[in-house]
Each structure stands twice: as structure tokens, then as C-alpha cells.
Copies of this chain bind each other. A is one copy, B any other.
Amino acid sequence: MSENHQLFGVEDLRGKLSERGYKMTPQRQEILRIFVEHSDYHHMSAEDVYAILQKRESEIGLATVYRALDLLCELGILVKVEFGDGCARYELNTADPKIHHHHHLICLKCKKVIEFEDDLLDDLEATIAKKSGFQILNHEVKFFGYCKDCRGEA
């Protein structure tokens, strides 16, 4: 498990919060810490986070988890992702989105989600910006198909 300061420190959080008139609370701190500590998992749902909190005998309620996740997204600390299974997941937004973008490979058979660390969308973004006048801040790419283990059976 990584230390807090590696990815996102308490003071970074306090700063971003107060910038926008929000308050620092132990709940928000702890929920963010869960993402930092589990940064190897990627994408956790609100229920996942809540389950971890309960294992720690935390008193934090599910509604607070949802509110904190929303807020952390608004601050650009987390990113919301949806895989089409009816529940949203959240991941740490790494410092420079241009550098660390990754894609999700979703297996239609076993429902596994594989991360693919590579971006290669800069050209496409430039093309789109030029043709449409759209200012792109972020993107989300999902590939659907069969993973190595399932491709034979389908």
C-alpha cells in the first residue's frame, strides 16, 4: 500500500476544498485515503468504498460516501467511470491526465475489466477539436470483446 504523499496528500485535499468554499472533514479525508491506499485496484464503486469503511468499523454512511465521491470528482481528484453494469465506479485521476490515460477492455463473457495502459488518442483529439470546435478535457474509451481466456469459447 502506498503512502498518502505519493499520490495525493491531505493538504492537497484541504487546499482544493477551501478554494471552492468546501470544508475539510475526516470523512472526506478517509474516503480519499481509501482510493490512495487501493490505487492498485482502480475503479471502486460507492458500495465497494462503503464496504471497506464498514470493515474498518467506520461510522461513515453510504449517503456521505456518494456525496464525497461526487465532490472528489468535481475537484478533479477522482474520475467517474461506467461499465454498463448499472453501477458507477470511481478511480483516482492521476496528476496529468494527458500522461496517464488508460483504456478499459470489457469482456462480454466473463465481465472482467482489463486496464490497458496506452493512450494514442492525441491525434484523434486534435482532429476533433479542429473539425468541431469542441474543447476536449477528458475522454473515456471502452473496448468490448472477449478476453484471452474467453475468446476460444465464444
Residues on A facing B (Cβ under 8 Å): 80, 82, 84, 88, 103, 105, 107-108, 114, 116, 118, 120-121, 123-125, 127-128, 131-148, 151
Chain B residues closer than 8 Å to A127, beta-carbon distance: 118, 120
The residue that A134 contacts in the complex, of B118, B136, B145, with Cβ under 8 A, is B145
Give the number of copies in the complex.
2
A123 to B116, CA, bound (A): 14
Chain B proximity of A138: nearest CB distance (Å): 5
Evaluate contact between B151 and A146: CB separation under 8 angstroms.
Answer: no
In the assembled complex, the CB of A153 is this many whole angstroms from the nearest CB of chain B, namely: 11
Residue in B116, B139, B151 whose CB lies within 8 Å of A141: B139
Q: How far is the CA of A20 from the CA of B123 in the complex (A)?
A: 41
